[in-house]
Structure 1
Amino acid sequence: MWSGEVGIFRDGLSRTRQSFFGRIGQLLSGPDVIDDDTWDDLEALLIQADLGVPTTQAILTETRSRARKDNIKKATELRKLLKTVLKDSLRLPPAMNISGRELSIILIVGVNGSGKTTTIGKLAHRLRNVNQRKVMLAAGDTFRAAAIDQLQKWGERVNVPVVANKPGSDPAAVVYDATAAAKARGFDVLIVDTAGRLHTNFNLMGELAKIRQVSGKIVPDAPHETLLVLDGTTGQNALQQAQKFREMVEITGVIVTKLDSTAKGGMIFAINHDLGLPIHYVGLGEKMDDLVLFQPEYFVESLFDDEAEK
């Protein structure tokens, strides 16, 4: 029986484990000797699992190199080696830059439907209960009345105050008020929701720059983290979104949501390899505690079934 965060990873990645990575596990089981067909099949499966072509090629180049060096001939040996290479390709995220000052500000960005507001609620819950921080939320998405309402409901649910204004009001003014309130009331962390903008919308991107500017007027160097929320079910599209966001905003890290709803969890490797951004958290289920710190070891082990047999 798996428990704690290891269990959350195992449960949340069951779809990915049972599909493409399950087929990789089958390909690399038994006493068969590795041949060119093995490598071709492995390449096809990794691409289908949404690692993308550049990441797949990097993983296979490293795996082939180590297999030659270690004189690996059998499929079962290659399976162990592949897991090691996959783990080595992922970086453990650094601690977020939200300590060592009076008030730290986290800006959350992403397109509509990525799970942004839900992620903010779960992150507030985690920072409050696991990290013992005093957290406030700012409803900077003033374009949709539903977004303000949703954030206020999350605030009530996780017992965290929310600063909001009426729909259509100036988002930068909301953020300014929230920053001033958080500082005056001795809060440790302010998490700012922003409109679920498409990366193609330059007006919204300009507004995001304004939000960054006003928060920096009250708190030096704010925002201290700008986290991009990506929908794990969108695979390579999420990668394209991230690349576009980076061209316009200084993204410091990523949160990947809805990994429990996809069979293509391999996009995590692509985000890590192609973007070089730290993945701070992953969403692995509906429950409040299913937003967890990204752990490369747990992630890779949970993609393969052999861990369940131990």
Structure 2
Amino acid sequence: AIPARLAGCREVVLCSPPRADGTCDPVVLHAARTCGVNRVFKAGGAQAIAAMAYGTASIPRCDKLFGPGNAFVTEAKLQVASDPQGAAIDMPAGPSEVLVIADDSADPAFVAADLLSQAEHGPDSQVLLVSESASLLGAVEREVERQCAVLPRAAIAQQSLVYGRLIRVESTAQAVEVSNRYAPEHLIMQVRDPRAWLGGIQSAGSVFLGHWAPESLGDYCSGSNHVLPTCGWARSCSGVSVASFQKQVTVQTCSPGALRRVGPCAATLAAAEGLDAHRRAIATRLSALEGNAFGARKRSAA
């Protein structure tokens, strides 16, 4: 909502699933008021996406839909975005992902904590650790087991960990290559001099540099928007920003002198494409300038 307001959106609508007693979470309502949301509706899931995309008797039709969700929400967003009668979307933002690149300078407890912070999101979250250090991989695996055992959401995290991976590579450079191919939602660089590798990162939703930058900071208070592309969409999409709520309208004008200079080129290109009406729209004006017919018509009208 904050980037929407910064972008100048006049109306911001929020859909939030109701609690078991039918009420909306007061924390959500307080956040919505603080951020300047105009209207809040008790609806969630794919049905909320459909309601905002097409409109209902109570929920207005929206021009663009933002925000992450589960696999069903992500699929609903993709479907309404492909429908000419639907709505635009920010990006596919589904189940959470984290990829950690770590070398032997990393603390296994830190790495394990970062992996589990994503695994506890849901059973369809994916966590990966890529390292050239076999000893670190083993230490992290043991640390994950130890930390997971005391988590309130341990059962959920354990389901996610079934699909997690520990990947051994030959170098940090190769680890960066693996990350770019995977295009993670979150990339954590727990290596020596992490900033030195930043230039090689081509595809990631958000990057966390160093041993003291847990992904959890990005969730809550580091300042970057945390609606990020998942499922490999970081190869072609960026996270939500003020620009996501804006569109550009281009404007052109042309003086007679400028038309004399660029018009023949445009007419040649139109002719090469076989679009004669395009060529004539330019040639007619050029002919008028050569014969000053345009000026003569203006004098006649006066």
Larger Rg: 2
Instruction: Calculate the TM-score normalised by the size of structure 2.
Output: 0.31
Q: With a CA cutoff of 8 Å and minimum separation of 6, indicate the structure with the bigger relative contact order.
A: 1
Higher helix share: 1
